[in-house]
Structure 1
Amino acid sequence: MSEYTAANITVLDFDESVRRRPGMYFGADAHLATSVLTAVVIASLHPGPRVAPTGAPEVTVEILGELAFSIGDNWPTGPDGSMAGYYDSLLTSYRWVHAAAAAVSTHTTVETWHGGHGLRQDLVGLRPTGPAHDVDAPGGTGTTLTYHLDPSYFTPSTLDSPSLDLHAEGCCDLPGQYRLRDLRSTTS
């Protein structure tokens, strides 16, 4: 029997950890794409206290294709609109579930705005393709993320509406609501 030592330990970057074992982050469900969507919706509805909006979270989800969706909410990527995140991306540790979803995506677009300043960044997996660049900021505070899930992790899975109760009993003082639009039926 061999001895277990520190030499037997492999330290993985966050994105590699997610790709190796997506079930640890999203659940071991046969419908992994829907589990990713559900996890991201739950995370957007339950921001940490340092980034939570002053009112209830407002979340809009659009299913764009079999493995593509966008999610918008009314809170920044970090406290006070701070932007330093994973691998110099706009996804901060306050959005770790969103970052995990980016890790199993072929590409992700992040747009975030706060205090009249807006930024946009494209990611391949969780890695930025370049620095964030300025965009026109709508009023208020918010973030929109568009994910294109990697088919090598999700075949033959497709997206369905989140079917779980998104709020546990007594989970929130101000439970947020989400709107879902499935745009697949409107495209040819």
Structure 2
Amino acid sequence: MNKFDKAFWEELYKTNDTGWNIGYISTPIKEYIDQLHSKELKILIPGAGNSYEAEYLWKKGFKNLFVLDIAEQPLLNLKNRIPDFPDNQLLLQDFFQVNDKFDLIIEQTFFCALNPSMREDYVTKMSEIIDQKGKLIGLLFDFPLDTKGPPFGGSKDDYLKRFAPYFKINTLERSYNSIKPREDKELFFIFEKNYHN
């Protein structure tokens, strides 16, 4: 049984117990977005939370953008900040129930929030919903696996072992431009879907 269910996350947002919420887009993801050219990319941000990444993308003209969370409150928070964000692109659902394809998926504190027993399911689901030549990019925590999370940690070796069968590892390295509280604790990555998966 996964205790990190809808009720768990709704309660955290209701009580404002969201210590991971930095209140703005993280620098490594902002810099990645800044070099994107095609505004037509179909983008998903799963486990998005308050999703300052989505707000940044939207204001830069990326309109084929979908934001997913199992808890309703963070989606409402985003809608309050961007009233014209389409309701049908706010996905209140379990990530593992997604049945669509995307060109780009942005990972920001979602993987590390899942119970580690779900990591293999995460990787296979990502490989299913990323289109050919699509990319999964973002940040993964780099500190010892913690049983008291979320967030749970992880290591570069473990990520390589899990993702390499499904993705071409373009980049997986220490993030040089993390925000101060996460300095030396994050790996920035760009994984490209393997053509045979």
What TM-score do you get using the length of structure 1 for normalisation?
0.26
Higher relative contact order (CA 8 A, sep 6+): 1
Indicate the structure (1 or 2) with the bigger Cα radius of gyration. Answer: 1
What TM-score do you get using the length of structure 2 for normalisation?
0.25
Query: Larger helix proportion, structure 1 or 2?
Result: 2
